[in-house]
Structure 1
Amino acid sequence: MHMQPDLLQEARRQAEICNACRYCEGYCSVFPALHAERAFSDGDLTQLANLCHNCRGCYYACQYTAPHEFALNLPRALAEVRQDSWQAHAWPRGFARLFDRAGVAMAGLLALGFAGIFSLSQALRPESGEGFYAYMSHSLMVAIFAPAFLLPLFALAVSLRAYWRTVSGGRVTTGAIMQAIKAAGQMRNLKGGHGEGCNFEDEDRFSNARRHCHQAVLYGFLLCFAATGTATLMHYLFGLEAPYGPLSLPKLLGVPGGLLLSVGSAGLAWLKTRADRNLGAPAYWGGEMGFILLLFLVATSGLALWVATGTAAVSVLLPLHLGAVLSFFLLTPFSKMAHGFYRMAALVRDAERSI
């Protein structure tokens, strides 16, 4: 695992100045962790970078930003180290760099390519079946999506194991895990130092919009995952096969989940167009936007497919949705979807420090 030394050195320079100043001590979890150190190893900087949620409040409050000779831009320095850490720990490594450079094009081409393959596969549709299974057999879907779900999880496990070693993580305790889950669920580090929100869009405007959009994406994703898991249990344990009615658990969980995911991802995309790119990692902007748009396509195509149930439009929407979902799964270890796993690991590591 090799991270870029110039990015680490610049982050180290800025962290040392921030450590001497301490003006932003109450802003988020980064600063208590930063102030607990006197010298910063590469692992320390990697941990701080993954704790940072890029809310940018510290930048707008800082008296040492350009044109001051210190020229501090801690959100950008940590964003670049954070992005580089995902690339360095990703397995296999090369795909992460490719996605960061051309994320929108890569996600779009993959989704359309897989959609084309799924569309052609309808020529092999089963002789009998209801709902989606009238267009594609259940066994074919399982044969495709089971490996596409499990292999990325394995790749993430390898990546996180390497990350945990880099940040000198120890034995994980239940207390640390619960504290990290609480912080993630509340999006505590996007509340700002006084609970008024962050300055992601504009230095003079405190807003909780980004926190709420992140929460919509998080809880929307969890609801959709719960809907899929429930449908799987109903199919294999109770012999209840799809399609399911509007008051069934898969629908009661999946439809609100899809709505939250659609609204949240659309909101995040809109906020990114309003924010100053120079306060993030501008070289990776395309990869971040590609992930958000792919997430939006997964959610909206799923909702459209639900609305179109029983019509001829299913033959077009089903391949598009499956292509988007398959692309999303396969790109998870290399897209910004991985940040959720790294951030949870960073929150657990920070909880260990503070307990």
Structure 2
Amino acid sequence: MRQLNLLVAEAQALGANAAEIAIDPAVGEVARILQICNACRYCEGFCAVFPAMTRRLTFSPSDIHYLANLCHNCGACLHACQYAPPHEFGVNVPQSMAVVRKETYIEYAWPRALGALYRKNGITLVLASSLALIFFLILTLALNGSLMSPSVNGNFYAVFSHNTLAYLFSATFLFAVLALGIGVRNFWQNISPGGMGSTSLVASAEAAHDALTLKYLGGGHGEGCNNADDGFSLWRKRFHHYTFYGFGLCFAATSVATLYHYVFGWQAPYAILSLPVILGTVGGVGLVIGPLGLLYLNFTRAEQHGDASQKPMDRGFILLLLLISISGLLLLAYRETAAMAILLAVHLGFVMAFFLTMPYSKFAHGVYRVAALLKNSIEKRQANNLMLGSE
């Protein structure tokens, strides 16, 4: 134990030096902590972060950005660490990683000036943008005299034409994809300077598996994450699954409906038992259960498990998903009533706000995390010349 403490003390000194030369204090703090972790290595089997850490002797800002996005913030290492607060070394990997992770979204955002929205993308911004769009759509309906029109048999295109909706949402969706794509490209080029060689099918498949199964929300032992205290729970992983696959099913419903319209010439509205409606309904239910659960966990999560300044962004994103799903299910339930036009305007306003803010919201964390998982899958198949950890 004495020898280990000496090693940790030496690592802390190295980390302090890293903090001094780092431009960003948050990056320097992670460098300090990782030097200590590299000397101890008790948590090496917990998640992908610690084996990736042992492949390095020093930590550049790009290394830290990569490791911060590889971290899933499960909290297991914090409660296993003998050097966690109140110890003088003050090792808190989840919290320090969360601070840097948010900064990566800001740094790699495109356009760069809009990266500041990550600091402000909270409930107020989400509601303000959504309500502004809803007000605009309702005003348009009122001016057209169709705000409280009688039932049109659930035909949304009798309220807003198909071409209007297609052009409007195609533009916002393509912008979101472009902004996120450029952002993650910038991130990848920074964490993998000069490239990483060929990406094997096996490495890509493993990264996809780890992302889709949320492997690293198991806490390194399969018992789950820490939330309010040091107790383990799988509910964070489960609510993430409800949210992710609920969103995927809703996207699939839209894709199938687009296929029906343009390929088969089948016009909306579709029957209750049609594939688009079934997919959208099941996805919508998932997008109610998941965000409600995540919102509860966010409010009860201990501050030591993450960055408190990131909570407004998290809550804004979760709330917007919840409002989209609830308004969508209400629209389906009342689509053949006179309230359909207003409900459609409300739902479209929330959806449009989601797409416009998507590149600068918590949605980006999934994209950056997949990139980090891919780098990890490639990197661990390469020779470890440092010989500091098992592969």
- TM-score category by the smaller chain? over 0.9
Choose 1 or 2 for highest CA Rg: 2
Q: Deviations over 1:284-338 (max 9, x none)?
A: 2111111111111111111111111101221221111101100100111100101
Aligned residues with identical type, % of pairs: 42
- Counterpart CA distance in 1 for 2:175 and 2:23 is 28
Q: TM-score, normalised by structure 2?
A: 0.87
Matched, 1:185 2:212: yes
Counterpart in the other structure of 1:71: 90
Q: CA deviation at 1:125?
A: 7.6
- Counterpart CA distance in 2 for 1:161 and 1:124 is 44
Conservation of the 8 A alpha-carbon contact between 1:90 and 1:155: yes
Matched, 1:273 2:299: yes
* 1:88 match: secondary structure: helix
Query: Structure 2 counterpart of 1:175, which letter?
Result: V
Q: Could you tell me which runs of 5 or more consecutive residues in structure 2 were left unpaired when the two chains were aligned.
A: 1-21, 382-391
Alignment counterpart, residue 150 of structure 1, candidates 168, 174, 180: 174
- Counterpart CA distance in 1 for 2:347 and 2:73 is 31
Q: CA deviation at 1:186?
A: 1.2
Counterpart in the other structure of 1:198: 225
Q: How does 1:98-137 map to 2 (within 5 A)?
A: 98-122=117-141, 123-124=143-144, 131-137=155-161
Q: Deviations over 1:216-246 (max 9, x none)?
A: 1111111111100000010001100110001
Conservation of the 8 A alpha-carbon contact between 2:46 and 2:219: yes
Q: How does 1:279-298 map to 2 (within 5 A)?
A: 279-298=305-324
* 1:201 match: secondary structure: coil
* 2:56 match: secondary structure: coil
Query: Structure 1 counterpart of 2:228, which letter?
Result: E
* 2:259 match: secondary structure: helix
* 2:228 match: secondary structure: strand
Query: Structure 1 counterpart of 2:132, which letter?
Result: G
Residues 1:130 and 1:69: Cα distance change in structure 2 (over 3 Å): closer
Conservation of the 8 A alpha-carbon contact between 1:57 and 1:200: no
Counterpart in the other structure of 1:254: 280
Counterpart in the other structure of 2:45: 26
Conservation of the 8 A alpha-carbon contact between 1:54 and 1:79: yes
Q: Could you tell me which runs of 5 or more consecutive residues in structure 1 were left unpaired when the two chains were aligned.
A: none
Query: Structure 2 counterpart of 1:143, which letter?
Result: Y
Counterpart in the other structure of 2:343: 317
- Counterpart CA distance in 2 for 1:163 and 1:216 is 28
Conservation of the 8 A alpha-carbon contact between 1:119 and 1:316: yes
- Counterpart CA distance in 1 for 2:47 and 2:73 is 10
Matched, 1:43 2:62: yes
Q: CA deviation at 1:130?
A: 5.3
Counterpart in the other structure of 1:89: 108
- Counterpart CA distance in 2 for 1:119 and 1:133 is 15
Counterpart in the other structure of 2:331: 305
Number of paired residues? 352
Q: CA RMSD in A?
A: 1.7
Q: CA deviation at 1:350?
A: 0.6
Q: CA deviation at 1:102?
A: 4.6
Conservation of the 8 A alpha-carbon contact between 2:126 and 2:320: yes
Query: Structure 2 counterpart of 1:93, which letter?
Result: R
Query: Structure 2 counterpart of 1:287, which letter?
Result: M
Conservation of the 8 A alpha-carbon contact between 1:220 and 1:257: yes
Matched, 1:173 2:197: no
Conservation of the 8 A alpha-carbon contact between 2:122 and 2:313: yes
Q: CA deviation at 1:174?
A: 2.3
Q: CA deviation at 1:107?
A: 0.5
Moved more, 95-104 or 288-297: 95-104
Q: CA deviation at 1:129?
A: 8.5
- Counterpart CA distance in 2 for 1:319 and 1:181 is 36
- Counterpart CA distance in 2 for 1:316 and 1:63 is 57
Query: Structure 2 counterpart of 1:167, which letter?
Result: I
Query: Structure 2 counterpart of 1:279, which letter?
Result: H
Residues 1:152 and 1:125: Cα distance change in structure 2 (over 3 Å): farther
Q: CA deviation at 1:97?
A: 2.1
Matched, 1:347 2:373: yes
* 2:347 match: secondary structure: helix
Conservation of the 8 A alpha-carbon contact between 2:52 and 2:376: yes
* 1:192 match: secondary structure: coil
- Counterpart CA distance in 2 for 1:148 and 1:23 is 47
Displacement over 4 Å in runs of 4+? 125-130
Conservation of the 8 A alpha-carbon contact between 1:103 and 1:291: yes
Matched, 1:207 2:233: yes
